[in-house]
Structure 1
Amino acid sequence: MNRQVIDAHLHLDHYKENEIEQIIRDLSIESYPALISVSYHLQSCKQNLSLARKHSQVKPAFGFHPEQKLPTEQEQQSLFQWMEEHVEDMVAVGEIGLPYYTRKEAPALKIEGYISLLEQFLVFAKKWNKPVVLHAVYEDADLVCDLLEQHHIRNAHFHWFKGADPTIERMIRHGYLISVTPDVVYEPEIQALVKKYPLEKIMVETDGPWPFEGPFKGMMTHPRMIHESIKVIAEIKNEDLEGVYQQLYQNTINFYKLY
């Protein structure tokens, strides 16, 4: 059986140019038909669009990563105008969300501007019928769930999610998808999440070039690491490995409307 894999979330534009070429060269289209490359800001959006035009496997999402200083009003307008001009080029709005880790380091940081920006992205996604890729963990996930409900958005992907059981149950009720990184191989918290979450609502990702520990320590993060993730997911779910490959692949195809 052809074990097809889609990396549902990585920052391809954050790799060095030679690393990008190596990754693409390593991945046959038959086995790795798509990489969902999310964006960090406007320049990142432009870089991902350029990569998508160069490599057919690259499927770009456009947005603004929340773990950074808020853009100015003018920068926001420029970003949304550019995104509107390139709606047909994007598979999703993302990465968007709330600055959980930044606030941990700087508790005085005001979140209101980030919530306002996130709402603008949700309105945009609703208008253009695009799924959203979310950076929202722990208590921030509840805030984001509130906003998704308010804006009647169901096509939501919480990447590398971590959170409490009530939040997990809420997300499952609404049919939101999560994606799992290679840390599922060695992190009990992520293994527990996989056990609770329905297989038909799970995808796999690397969040590359973010580095990993365990058996991946010191290695460049690469979509091939996902094979180890899938083996562990199959073990946790006590499911046939080939069936898990197919289910995860189909989940991603359906969510991002790739084919």
Structure 2
Amino acid sequence: MAPAAANYYTPPTHAPQKQRGYRICDTCGAVENPSIQKFRLCGGCLTTQYCSPECQKSHWPSHKAICQHTAAQLSGAKQQPTGPSYPDENLAKYLRKFTSTHASLLGWAGFQALQLKRIPANIRQHALLIELSYHPCKESLFRFSIAETHIVPRSYVTSHDPLVAADIDRREDRCRKSGGIGTLVILVQCGGISQVMPVEVDPPSKITWDSREDWKEVLRHFVDSGRSDFKPISTTARGVVYG
């Protein structure tokens, strides 16, 4: 089978410190183009991103509850003692950065893990759990490696935190109204800290990725190699598209 990524065997084309993950404005759905304009992260939760101050301001009434909740979790993680469960007081911040940096790769892996090309209904029943190992390192792209991956019931994520569940439901409703199949839920965990990554999946007519069984290998390859330049191969009516 051909590699799932166009650049699987090639070295990264950009310096690590300049690489960015795939970002979408949480208000209007605009896709970030870093060469033109870099999106801003919410200063409270360090998770939600916006294309403009106007979008951030208009989203605040609905974002306030989950933002304050996430910010409290971040603050609480910093106060935990270091040790096997909490190896670094900055672990929560590092985990959020990891999720943002590898957003495209993680979303692709979740899409493949749940077999959404063949069984779109899986998006409402299951979630992808990714367990990471932490490595104290100054270079951010080498702080984590893949330990294990699991397909878990979606309720495993939503039943533990009502505010997170409500935020996922909001995204789910928005996605379906725009013709999408729903919100893919990915849970990234390390050292007792968790990061939920919801991904709104396009309508079937726009889903061009082939089904892949080697998603675990690809995920491990890019994360463990310290690479954030994942470019998936998509098959369309016009042929093969990279990225």
TM-score band by shorter chain is under 0.3
More strand by proportion, 1 or 2? 2
**Alignment TM-score, normalising by the size of structure 2:** 0.25
**Alignment TM-score, normalising by the size of structure 1:** 0.23
Question: Higher RCO, 1 or 2 (CA under 8 Å, sep at least 6)?
Answer: 2
